[in-house]
Structure 1
Amino acid sequence: MMELDEIDRKILRALAEDATQNAGALGRCLGLSQPATWRRIKRLQDSGVITGRKLDLDYEKLGFGVTVFLGVKLATKGRVSLEDFERAVTAIPEVQTVEHVLGLFDYRLRVTARDIADFERVLRRRIMTLPGIGDVEANVLLSEERRPGPLG
């Protein structure tokens, strides 16, 4: 685990809030020079603390008004490999995230759809036909507040 000082934490908080900031602008906010800020960001990337920067889309503005979290329990783990299930489920464009979890379900999926009828189509025609699919529980997202996470 990499030791982070307070400046590293401030850089991470700022990038978690807006990953499009360049080293010059970020440095000005933190009282650092552009080269010093760039070196710190590069060190955080090289150490694996920063693994990438992601584009955050507003799915509702793109016409996808429904987000559903699915808990998926595989029917028989021995019959279908986890890799086969993961490969098949990640090929479904409406499935935004696939998380292998411990607990009541084997997987947690985040699925976006245009509306409930569209979600039902995706569920019946794509998800319920996946190899090894067993029990499925759906939870419709009502609202979401995103947090950058703990940076101590």
Structure 2
Amino acid sequence: MSVEVDATDLAILRALAADATRSAGALGREMGLSQPATWRRIRRLEEAGVLKGRRLRLDAGRLGFGVTVFLGVKLATKGRVSLDDFERAVTAIPEVQVVEHVLGLYDYRLRIIARDLPDFERVLRRRIMTLPGVGEVEANVLLSEERLPGPLGAA
């Protein structure tokens, strides 16, 4: 379903991308709209699937998780292990924050958080490598991360 998005909709989306906790009233005042008009626009964007919810971004470091690792996983036995079974098993591991099925050298890209490198090694050895069908893995430790504005660009 395609929805027409005008300049006001884009401004609302940019504002929500920057701070999803803002109320429709506060957004409306900024955009020169009434609270009900702003709310109707937000609901229309949600119903069309353009706005797919609002999420909290937690600071993993402040919660004691100082290491983020991107792990490429190549399944060894794709014929015997269903992709759904792997996805179901890997998403049950609390340290795995994101599971992406990708095209390329690896079948999956996982974003994993751990307290430190020994904790990551424990997760890798005891949880990831014991999953059915796991073959090769490649770990990339995150050094720094920049927040990009995404497809809407800067305001």
> Do they fold alike, i.e. is TM over 0.5?
yes
Distance in 1, Cα, partners of 2:12 & 2:119: 41
1:133: which partner in 2? 134
After TM superposition, the score normalised by the length of structure 2 is 0.96
Bigger shift: residues 24-33 or 107-116: 24-33
Task: Write the distance in 2 (CA, Å) between the matches of 1:150 and 1:84.
Answer: 32
Map of 1:42 onto structure 2: 43
1:151 aligns with 2:152: yes
1:53 aligns with 54
User: May I ask how many residue pairs the two structures share in their alignment?
Assistant: 152
CA displacement 1:7-38 (0-9 Å, x = unmatched): 00001011011000010001111111111101
Counterpart secondary structure, 1:150: helix
The aligned counterpart of 2:100 is 99
* Deviating 4+ runs (over 6 angstroms): none
Distance 2:117 2:148 in 1: 27
3-state SS of 1:10 partner: helix
Find the counterpart in structure 1 of residue 115 from structure 2. Answer: 114
- Distance, in Å, in 1 between the alignment partners of 2:77 and 2:147 is 35
SS of the residue corresponding to residue 4 of structure 1 reads coil
SS state at 1:68 partner: strand
**Shift of residue 148, structure 1, vs aligned partner:** 3.2
Residue 146 of structure 1 and its aligned partner are, at CA, apart by 1.6
Q: Does 1:78 align with 2:79?
A: yes
Question: Secondary structure in 1 aligned to 2:56?
Answer: coil
Residue aligning to 1:18 = 19
The whole-number CA distance in structure 1 between the counterparts of 2:13 and 2:149 is 9
Structure 1, unaligned runs of 5 or more: none
Identity of aligned residues (%): 78
Quick one: distance in 2 between partners of 1:36 and 1:2?
Answer: 17
Give the TM-score normalised by the residue count of structure 1.
Answer: 0.97
- CA-atom RMSD, angstroms? 0.9
Q: Structure 2 stretches of 5 or more lacking a match?
A: none
